[in-house]
Structure 1
Amino acid sequence: MEYRRFDNTIVARIDKGEEILDQVKEIALKEEIKLASIQALGAISQFTAGVFKTEEKKYLANEFEGSFEIVSLTGTISTMDGEFYAHLHISAGNEKGEVFGGHLNRAVVSATCEMVITVIPGVVDRRYSEEIGLNLFQF
């Protein structure tokens, strides 16, 4: 991975074989990012995406392996209990044009991933909601 910071914008290239969430965390910790938005595209060979079942308050994970293009990767960096927290969603298409997606748990780059992180000055922490079953923004 390589990246460059331009004021409040970071442009990153995540390389073949690297896991996307690991690289996001590395950037966030190195740059001391407490709040940001993320968008990216690229190619991946493996990914795990979850769907939250609201009735059961749990995630179901789907694993995919093959050749996929990231159609959309979007999300946020924030904090929970003052520590790094990322919440990303992904949509990725296969060679047939079928698109799969959900909450990103893991994604391994097969060629490259181009990412833009927009740093927002401020802090928004998260707290677990018993009612919802998720870690929600706490203002």
Structure 2
Amino acid sequence: MDYRKFGSKIVLRIDRGEEVMSSIMELCEKEKILLASIEGLGAADHLVMGLYDVGRQEFNETRLDIPLELTSIVGSVTEMDGKPYLHVHITAADSQGHAYGGHLKEVRISGTAELFITVIEGHVGREKDRITDTGLNLFSFD
């Protein structure tokens, strides 16, 4: 992993064999980022993503261990319990062009990943949903 800062933007390269979510978390901890948007793309050979079942309040995971083109990585960094909280979604395509998408748990890079992180001044926290009882950690604008 390597990165450069340009004002409020960070350009992040994640290298072969590295995992995206842990790399973003490492960057956020090092740079003390608690509010940002994330966008990117890349190539991978291992992906774990999920779909949250609101009724059961649990994630159903999908695991893919095939060559994948990461066509979109989008997400946010907020703060929960004093630490960065990542909420990232992914869309990936296989060699036949079949697309897969969901809530990103982990993805290992096979070639490279290129991410752009826009740091935002301000604070947005997270707290368990007490309004509609979804079990999700929602934005908290305190």
Please, what TM-score do these two structures have when normalized by structure 2? 0.96
Q: Distance in 1 between matches of 2:120 and 2:81?
A: 18
Q: Which amino acid aligns with 1:41?
A: L
Q: Deviations over 1:12-42 (max 9, x none)?
A: 1100000000100111011110100000100
Gaps of 5+ in 2: none
> SS at the partner of 2:97?
coil
Q: Which whole-Å CA distance do the structure 1 matches of 2:54 and 2:2 have between them? A: 38
How many residue pairs get aligned? The number is 139
Higher strand share: 1
Could you list the structure 1 runs, at least 4 aligned residues long, displaced by more than 3 angstroms after superposition. Answer: none
Q: Does 2:32 match 1:32?
A: yes
Q: Which runs of 5+ in 1 are unaligned?
A: none
After the TM superposition, which of the residue ranges 75-84 and 15-24 deviates more from structure 2? 75-84
In structure 1, the partner of 2:135 is 133
Percent identity, aligned pairs only, is 40
Q: State the secondary structure of the residue aligned to 1:30.
A: helix
Question: Within the alignment, does 1:55 sit opposite 2:41 as a pair?
Answer: no
Q: Given the two structures, how large is their TM-score scaled by the length of structure 1?
A: 0.98
Q: How does 1:1-139 map to 2 (within 5 A)?
A: 1-130=1-130, 131-139=133-141
| Distance across 1 between alignment mates of 2:52 and 2:22 | 22
Cα deviations by residue, 1:65-117 (Å, 9 ceiling, x for unpaired): 11100111000011112211100000000000001110000000000000000
What CA RMSD, in Å, does the superposition of the two structures yield over aligned residues?
0.7
